[in-house]
Amino acid sequence: MTFSKEVAIVTGAASGIGQAVAIQLAQQGAKVVLVDLNPCQQTIRQLGDADYLECLGDIRNKEFVRATVDRTIETFGEVQILVNNAGTASRLDLEDMTEEMWYRDLDTNLKATFLFMQAVIYPHMKEAGYGRIINISSISGMNGGVVSGGEKNGRSGPAYSASKGGVIALTKWVAKEVGKYGITVNSVAPGATATAITAGVKYDTSGQVIDRMGTPDDIADAVLYFASKNAGYTTSQVLKVDGGYSIG
């Protein structure tokens, strides 16, 4: 899979899965737009000679999202790939869940995914007749949360699970809408993966087929397939990358 001269917007690119995705895309020839609330210096240092653009701001803000896509077009002239990865994960249970935390997860994980898809598809991908959109969901959006322990006890919270379930439903809806324009829309649903979101959380992986936590590169490998020209006949799919946790 090569991405020579293709332009990819990756949200949450400062660390974790987003960082791994941006680096892998750049290594395969893509120009990458690094979107995050925090500076992406650690990612940039690993891009080598790849062309990149850093856009820092709040992905929940429509004006920032539109400005990011506009800057991408002004800088590179086009955009072929969008990876909606940035997210938050509260671990409050239903009894303790506040409206503030509820909307934080819903807005970061689901609203921002909607905003970025809308901004890149209309008019850019639609006019080009080509696009690859990959939304990072979670197996928590399919099974109601993975039981974990450690410093942060219990499952990921109801807001996180609801938002990721929404990402899956939105992925399928948009895929049906834009396939006629040559745009595919798919989702990667990670299981327990070693990122900042899972720091301090202990997962029992002994019951998995693959007895370890996932890495950001494990998830990025799946993203790159969906982002490639090889995936031209694959859309509306949710690929679980969870070490076999959800088998059965």
Which CATH number belongs to the domain containing residue 168 in this structure? 3.40.50.720
Residue 246, in any domain of the structure: no
Q: How confident is the model at residue 199 (pLDDT cuts 50, 70, 90)?
A: low
pTM of structure: 0.94
Residue 19, in any domain of the structure: yes
Query: Higher pLDDT residue, 92 or 59?
Result: 59
CA 172, CA 98: separation in Å to the nearest integer? 29
- At 165 the pLDDT is 97
Q: How many domains does the chain have?
A: 1
Average per-residue pLDDT for the chain: 92
Residue 81 bridge partners (DSSP): 8, 132
- pLDDT tens profile 81-125: 999 999 998 888 888 899 999 999 999 999 999 999 999 999 999
Q: Which domain holds residue 176?
A: 7-241
- pLDDT tens profile 12-51: 999 999 999 999 999 999 999 999 999 999 999 999 999 9
Q: What share of the chain is helix, strand, coil (3-state, %, to 5)?
A: 45, 20, 40
Which of 52, 160, 203, 245 is catalytic? The answer is: 160
pLDDT tops 80 at residue 5: yes
Residue 142, in any domain of the structure: yes
Residue 56, in any domain of the structure: yes
Contact indicator for 192, 245 with CB cutoff of 8 Å: yes
Residue 247, in any domain of the structure: no
Read off the pLDDT of each residue in 141-165 and give the average, rounded to a whole number.
Answer: 76
Residue 43, in any domain of the structure: yes
Specify whether 160 is catalytic.
yes
pLDDT tops 50 at residue 150: no
What's the maximum distance between 2 C-alpha atoms anywhere in the chain?
50
- What Cα–Cα distance (Å) separates residue 238 from each residue in 55, 102, 141, 167? 28, 24, 11, 10
Residue 31, in any domain of the structure: yes
- At 198 the pLDDT is 67
CA 213, CA 226: separation in Å to the nearest integer? 22
Residue 223, in any domain of the structure: yes
Q: How confident is the model at residue 152 (pLDDT cuts 50, 70, 90)?
A: very low
- At 151 the pLDDT is 46
pLDDT tops 70 at residue 159: yes
- What Cα–Cα distance (Å) separates residue 103 from each residue in 80, 108, 109, 111? 30, 8, 10, 10
